[in-house]
Amino acid sequence: MERTLIIIKPDAVQRGLTGEIIRRFEARGLRIIGMKFLQVSEALAKKHYEVHTDKPFFGSLVEYITSSPVVVMALEGTGAVQAARNTIGATKPNEALAGTIRGDLGLEIGRNLVHGSDSVENGQIEVANFFSDDELVSWARNTDAWIFE
């Protein structure tokens, strides 16, 4: 089973969309194995966005993600990374398909509601940045046989 990190960003939390976003991932069949409501520290934000350190928007990314609480989730499932990214939609909400989180609920790239890991490898790294092993619960749902082959 793949794992991916989801961050329900400050704009989604402030707009009261947390429940709707969680519902979409659960409806997709992805299993929540860890979840936290937290205020991201500057140090954690810089670590999370370190691939963008040399880009001109790095400072604004850090400022934004630390501006308000977020919900972080570790999700698990077959092809979890791609399934989550398809559920989220294109980075630019005005290019995201209807039916995706960003396509239905977002307007601007700087307020695109959700982060999702972009690869299996980054999913593992990002989950480890936000969760210790003892905070993750890999479990079986009664419905798993109807979701996973």
pLDDT in tens, 75-94: 999 999 999 999 999 999 99
Instruction: For the domain covering 2-146, report its CATH number.
Output: 3.30.70.141
Domain ranges of the chain: 2-146
**Angle, alpha carbons 135-138-142 (nearest 5°):** 135
Q: Would you state the structure tokens that stand for residue 51, as one six-digit string?
A: 């691939």
The answer to whether 38 touches 13, Cβ cutoff 8 Å, is no
CB 13 within 8 A of CB 68: yes
48 catalytic? Reply is no
Rg (CA), the chain: 15
Residue of 66, 84, 115, 116 with catalytic role: 115
Q: What is the rounded distance in angstroms from the CA atom of residue 61 to the CA atom of residue 137?
A: 30
pLDDT value of residue 44: 98
What is the per-residue pLDDT across 101-116, written as a single tens digit (0 to 9) for each?
Answer: 999 999 999 999 999 9
**What is the pTM assigned to this prediction?**
0.96
Cα separations in angstroms, 2 against 27, 76, 87, 107: 17, 6, 16, 30
